[in-house]
Structure 1
């Protein structure tokens, strides 16, 4: 009899622990902020840079001040090092899936996303990113496809999704194959299609009642629009990804920032009496880390934090109704803060003069090395802040340029070796080290504030973030 009582008691304790807290509040407004590739090093490094730039050691990134914190594991169903498709699906649906899979489980079955569940509850929804809208993380919240590479199909899923506010890059997957507009996107690139058919999804969105903001003209109109008067929005500003923040600031200031897109999304979605669910991705943090680009990481992390600030300002106006959860999907680059060669110090001042990105400019853009060594070194000095080369640095760049002349490449994604070498030299001057040009399996920091934020604290798998959010919102995934 005593054994039975003990068993019943243990069952009651388990039930109490697993059940939602009595009287727990349910948020009306949810901001799910995802920094792609945003590990602990990226967060801390960017904060150190802000302190150096502003000469104020008290400065902090807002995301690093939230009262609730935790760590998340990120592995996929078929690999310990995940990609953004599997990680995005875990964060969106609470399901482990295979690398490269969007919105499906490891057996290929569609899984419900938090955005879809929010729509079923009558909430307004938004998806915002600095990547192509059809890229893995945003796609995982609204699409279902066996391969993240099927971006034309993912674009069609967006049309069917019913998401009220969509903003990012990737015009090329939404327009018919015959369409081409010279110098038409928001950074002056030609708009052309990646589709194999004549489907015009932008026109279809417009016919479905969406206001559309496309390319350069769309960027200009976006900045002049009163979004409190808009009901549904699709904004696609660039042919592919949106520019890195360091180049948006210095060259493409007409392109809306992630913070500005977030503010517009709030103005559209907050009119819904049932509240809203918004996913905001700082997507190019990951791309910068793939290129081992320290300043690219920093500026896009700061831009992400500024978008969090927009959400936080809204939270302060609605403190009893708002939840903000900040996560990463995985770490990229194996970023280490410190190297033997420089001892116990970091030198953020080495990064202050940089004005360009490694990937978009040095690897593939106007700053790409193409055989003129003197011109390349001058460009690095003037735009990348890499001057006064010592003998070792000069020799490394010389070898890298010679390798490029011979057609060799560097890193997993086979980039121009001159660009990657320049990135490594600049990183080393700040005493930063990179172990890889791809993702790692390291745990990811989480921070949160607002209604029931404490439920996200502690060590959790990435699937538990989605499951906790669904439980809190009374969603069924």
Structure 2
């Protein structure tokens, strides 16, 4: 009798162990999504806006449905508030470093990036971003430098990386001066980095005119792709939605992600793909609630591309979503009325342009065209009514706008050092408008820069159970590397734990770095 019980029990245990072993195997396909500046409130605001926009109270961000979640600390080696270079390095290499450093320890030692380690394991590698490709986060996976602003050198590192797929913006640091295509270059040397990619056999999509070709391109085995589709950053998602200009033709982040998946999958080997929603951070710096939300939704649409792939390969795929830091110190529900606490995200539906790319310089351009102050003010009011939905204004709102215009009028005659500005040289009129729109939607900002709050991470797939609880940003790449059997190492043995919290204030070197967000 006992034997009859034990045999089926033993068989059941063996079957269970076998199933567990299969699930616990190394993932063949790894997706790593990084939302620059994407804190928990940004994710929540985007989900609430999506419910409203789709008229579906059950709608959720795809990344918010993943079963494994963690809260992640983000401080860097030299300050409690990280920048994107040190944050990107932590997420890429598993080591804390000094703000401004890319894939290097504070002493300048090179650190192996997760992308490099995966390549050594035979993975095809892809990098996709809505920022310039030489920007901090993509650079932290594909370059090594103690200066995040050394874009000329970063571009060369990327050409030498031999990664399989690049897509994003910033062709200005790759094209040579006086190039035959007539593309504007910002390189300070005579290097033709595009030619470096070409000589290595990459299929090239460089410049605005190549966007349609990129979209229609069908990858095949053996192809490597370099796509720099914009002079600077990829335009905000709000431009794609509302503009009839060329911005509307640029592929969305989800399209670039899908093209990367097609290209990497065509190589018939494992792949690692890092995708950055980079302009979430830029929008939050500018207190642009609408663009912050829409670029978060754009990133989530890219996550859905990976999730659809995962559903076809559930026992071979790992998806991890994270962020380098939170930006703006954003909160929801800044006031209440007789009916209680509430949000009014519907006020953001009337916004049709981004703050940083449009509003920040609008008044100064207007001042050059119109010398009559009364006409200038009237033209500005007409603009914000049309593009920002600021109609039916209260007396106090009108005063805020008038005061901002008066300050900016005075700015016209002042030397640069004496001009009134906010954050990253944001104009008084821009700040007045974005804050009024935010107040109408009941969104509250505490900072123009990064904050030290926890960021959320979520995961699904093979090994996703390792991304739970309270963890540090350096734990994420370490655990991804362990899942695929890759090794993150340096050419100088350094215990990252020994680096934590050496100093908690700005260092002189950090304070002098001219960060370009």
Same fold, judged at TM 0.5 (above): yes
Distance 2:218 2:452 in 1: 43
Counterpart selection for 1:347 from 344, 349, 352 = 344
What is the 5 A alignment of 1:4-83?
24-83=24-83
Matches of residues 354-433 of structure 1 in structure 2 within 5 Å? 354-364=351-361, 370=367, 372-407=376-411, 408-433=419-444
Alignment deviations for residues 387-433 of structure 1 (CA, whole Å, 9 cap, x no partner):
11111111001101111111133322121110111000000001111
Partner of 2:262: 267
- For this pair of structures, how many residues does the alignment match? 449
Could you tell me how far apart the structure 2 residues matched to 1:176 and 1:210 are? 17
Q: Which residue of 2 aligns with 1:227?
A: 219
* CA distance, structure 1, for counterparts of residue 472 and residue 351 of structure 2: 37
Task: State the match for 1:128 in structure 2.
Answer: 128
Whole-angstrom CA distance in 2 between matches of 1:69 and 1:37: 18
Question: Is the counterpart of residue 435 in structure 1 residue 451 in structure 2?
Answer: no
- Report the more deviating stretch, 270-279 or 322-331: 270-279
Check whether the contact 2:336–2:342 (CA below 8 A) recurs between aligned residues.
no
Partner SS for 1:59:
coil
Aligned position for 1:210: 202
CA distance in 2, matches of 1:157, 1:259: 26
Q: In the TM superposition, what whole-angstrom CA distance separates every residue of 1:267-306 from its partner, at most 9, and x where no partner exists?
A: 1101233310000000000000000000010110000000
- The answer as to whether partners of 1:369 and 1:401 remain within 8 angstroms in 2 is no
In the alignment, what sits opposite 2:495?
A: none
- Tell me how far 1:178 sits from its aligned partner: 2.9
* Secondary structure at 1:193 match in 2: coil
CA distance in 1 between partners of 2:481 and 2:72 (Å): 17
1:298 matches 2:293? yes
Q: Is the 8 A contact 1:334 1:435 kept in 2?
A: yes
Among 297, 306, 324, the residue aligned to 2:319:
324
**Retained in 2: the 8 A contact 1:361–1:367?**
no
Match of 1:109 in 2: 109
Give the stretch that moved more between structures: 236-245 or 22-31.
22-31
Per the alignment, do residues 327 and 127 of structure 1 end up closer, same or farther by CA in structure 2, a change over 3 Å counting?
same
Which position in structure 1 is the counterpart of 2:460? 449
After TM superposition, give the deviation of residue 206 of structure 1 in Å.
1.2
Q: CA deviation at 1:128?
A: 0.3
Shift of 1:81: 0.3
Structure 1 residue 197: Cα displacement: 1.6
CA distance in 2, matches of 1:420, 1:374: 18
Do the aligned residues in 1 keep the contact of 2:30 with 2:272 (CA within 8 Å)?
Answer: yes
Is the contact between residue 181 and residue 192 of structure 1 (CA under 8 Å) also seen in structure 2? no
> Alignment partner of 2:249: what SS?
coil
Regions of 4+ moved over 6 Å: none
The whole-number CA distance in structure 1 between the counterparts of 2:311 and 2:267 is 19
Residue 432 and residue 382 in structure 1: after superposition, are their counterparts in 2 closer, same or farther (change >3 A)? same
> Which residue number in structure 2 is paired with residue 11 of structure 1?
none
- Between the aligned partners of 1:418 and 1:359, the Cα distance in structure 2 is 12
Secondary structure of 2:141's counterpart equals coil
Q: 1:230 touches 1:268 (CA, 8 Å); kept in 2? A: no
Do 2:221 and 2:266's aligned partners in 1 also have CA atoms closer than 8 Å? Answer: no
Residue 177 in structure 1 maps to residue 172 in structure 2: no
Greater Cα offset, 464-473 or 89-98: 464-473
Q: How well do the aligned residues superpose, as a CA RMSD in angstroms? A: 1.6
Confirm or deny that 1:159 pairs with 2:163: no
- Distance in structure 2 (CA, Å) of the matches to 1:409 and 1:301: 31
- Once residues 362 and 109 of structure 2 are traced to their aligned partners in structure 1, the CA distance between those partners, rounded to angstroms, is 40
* Contact 1:30–1:278 (Cα < 8 Å) also in 2: yes
- If the length of structure 1 is used for normalisation, what is the TM-score? 0.91
**2-side partners of 1:230 and 1:377: how far apart?**
55
Which structure 1 segments of 5+ residues have no match? 1-20, 183-190
Distance 1:89 1:274 in 2: 26
Kindly provide the CA deviation profile for residues 170-218 of structure 1, in whole angstroms up to 9, marking residues without a partner as x: 0110012334867xxxxxxxx4111112211112211210001011221
Closer, same or farther: CA 89–402 of 1 in aligned 2, 3 Å: same
Does the CA-based 8 Å contact 1:369-1:419 persist in structure 2?
Answer: no
Q: CA deviation at 1:243?
A: 0.2
Structure 1 residue 340 displacement after superposition: 3.0
State the partner residue of 2:477.
466
- In the TM superposition, what whole-angstrom CA distance separates every residue of 1:214-246 from its partner, at most 9, and x where no partner exists? 112210211221124671000001111010000
| CA shift for structure 1 position 344 | 0.9
CA contact (8 A) 1:51 1:57 kept: yes
1:68–1:449 contact (8 Å) kept in structure 2: yes
Q: What's the offset of the Cα at 1:367? A: 9.1
Contact 1:362/1:368, CA 8 A, preserved across alignment: no
Q: Distance in 2 between matches of 1:386 and 1:136?
A: 35
Three-state SS of the structure 1 residue aligned to 2:239 is helix
Q: Secondary structure at the match of 1:168?
A: strand
Distance in 2 between residues matched to 1:246 and 1:228, nearest whole Å: 33
